[in-house]
Structure 1
């Protein structure tokens, strides 16, 4: 059964959060929350939403503030983000999830997060253990302070700030090629538009991720968890931390470089199906 993906907005005290959703007329399974990477948008989850909504999972994929069609953080929001880091995003998203009825007593969800979205999923799972049935992290930033500082040096450059001659647009296009978009022109065009739009939001979430105590949060997660990463993902060199820190967590190699949720849907589905089955029985 094909379920249409719809787009909607949730009001928050700070602005509107745009999200994609697909709701089976007779849902039989726990909801899925899908959190995108920087500087993509919820569009990266269309294939997974289509698959899982047809199986009876209500699906919700929000755009982070500063990304997709969500609001842009104000100057006061930016000051708050600098103080609170990823906690600012998590708190705002919980406001949205509550407004959508996803946090009612006894209700649980399955989480997937990709890159920056994995950082938010990690914090959500650690802070709200009674609410999360399972968590799948794709390209997770499970790094200690020194490793996060290393990534900050490499990936904290505002490379595509808009300039009058438009050269930032070509930089954005070639950046995506280097990140492993894989020769799919339609995918590259979509990601180009998302990355150009989120040039400012990208820096805000990256700064928050590099300041996050990812290891501490990761160690606190109680729900069944799997971490996936591709060899050509920029975070592959830190993938060994997953098992080194927690032998109980399965580490799965996947494909698709930094675009796994688009380019290796079969691999994600295969792993997530097994994980969700385990989460349903915990």
Structure 2
């Protein structure tokens, strides 16, 4: 089996180290870089298929792990919780400047999934001068009442580590509720990510449920694409995309809550079409 083109690196920032996956094309004239922002409680590993595809198309690709996820520093090291989406975005901004992605005269495509799409929307407002397009996978454009309702169901550390190891079986059973149950390799990968991020998951959830995604969505000036699976937990909010902004392309894909892994080819098809329109 040929070695993966996806590499790993670390960015040293003020609070610790941010781990990221990346791949660089060998072409003399690379296309616009793509930054992938993962969902909770996955990691940048979930984007490896898309990274491999897009680097083959000439795009430099980067996928950081959020603080508290994957190989990045643990969020409890920071002395000032509660966390906000602005806090996460400011950390990524520091990383992207260090990597030369946020620089004068340069632009990137953003692709975010679930929590990552919330961060992508805020970055599209706060750092608009660097953003060429935004792809939202499972955007979750819920209103305030709906955010509070979802928080009441999901805001609990269901898999906090315990000595008898029962938290691991709880995590496994949690993952089996979705499409991921059909793929043993993906189940194992997500089990490890979810077990590692049992606390980080709650911290980013607390941040995204306090974020007014609809407000940010309405302020975005760059082209946007919204993708969602019918059996994604956030499908019930997908209608807001075109109710709020009819001009934004919204497309159904497969893959349940793991569209970027199980339906990455469908996602890439629609992303390719947007990139062709805006200029790759």
1:19 corresponds in structure 2 to 20
Q: Give the 3 Å change call, closer, same or farther, for CA 2–250 of structure 1 in structure 2.
A: farther
More displaced 10-residue stretch of structure 1: 53-62 or 18-27: 18-27
2:185 corresponds in structure 1 to 186
1:197 corresponds in structure 2 to 196
* Equivalent residues of 1:3, 1:22 under 8 A apart: no
2:165 corresponds in structure 1 to 166
1:44 corresponds in structure 2 to 46
Q: Deviations along 1:199-256, whole A, 9 cap, x unmatched?
A: 0000000000000011100100111101111110000111111111111111110100
Query: What is the CA-CA distance between 1:164 and the residue it aligns to?
Result: 1.4
Query: What is the CA-CA distance between 1:74 and the residue it aligns to?
Result: 3.0
- The alignment status of 1:118 with 2:120, answered yes or no, reads no
* Equivalent residues of 2:8, 2:22 under 8 A apart: yes
2:227 corresponds in structure 1 to 228
1:280 corresponds in structure 2 to 279
1:56 corresponds in structure 2 to 58
- Structure 2 Cα separation of the partners of residues 125 and 53 of structure 1: 23
TM-score using structure 2 length: 0.96
SS in 1 for 2:226: strand
* Equivalent residues of 2:18, 2:66 under 8 A apart: yes
Query: What is the CA-CA distance between 1:279 and the residue it aligns to?
Result: 2.3
The aligned length equals 278
* Equivalent residues of 2:41, 2:69 under 8 A apart: yes
2:155 corresponds in structure 1 to 156
- Structure 2 Cα separation of the partners of residues 127 and 2 of structure 1: 37
1:79 corresponds in structure 2 to 81
TM-score using structure 1 length: 0.95
Query: What is the CA-CA distance between 1:75 and the residue it aligns to?
Result: 5.0
Give the gaps of 5 or more residues in structure 1. none
- Structure 2 Cα separation of the partners of residues 131 and 228 of structure 1: 22
2:5 corresponds in structure 1 to 4
SS in 2 for 1:160: coil
SS in 2 for 1:256: coil
- Structure 2 Cα separation of the partners of residues 63 and 71 of structure 1: 9
- Structure 2 Cα separation of the partners of residues 168 and 74 of structure 1: 20
Please give the root-mean-square deviation of Cα atoms over the aligned residues, in Å.
1.5
Query: What is the CA-CA distance between 1:105 and the residue it aligns to?
Result: 1.2
Query: What is the CA-CA distance between 1:177 and the residue it aligns to?
Result: 0.8
* Equivalent residues of 1:223, 1:279 under 8 A apart: no
* Equivalent residues of 1:228, 1:252 under 8 A apart: yes
SS in 2 for 1:211: coil
- The alignment status of 1:32 with 2:34, answered yes or no, reads yes
Query: What is the CA-CA distance between 1:39 and the residue it aligns to?
Result: 0.3
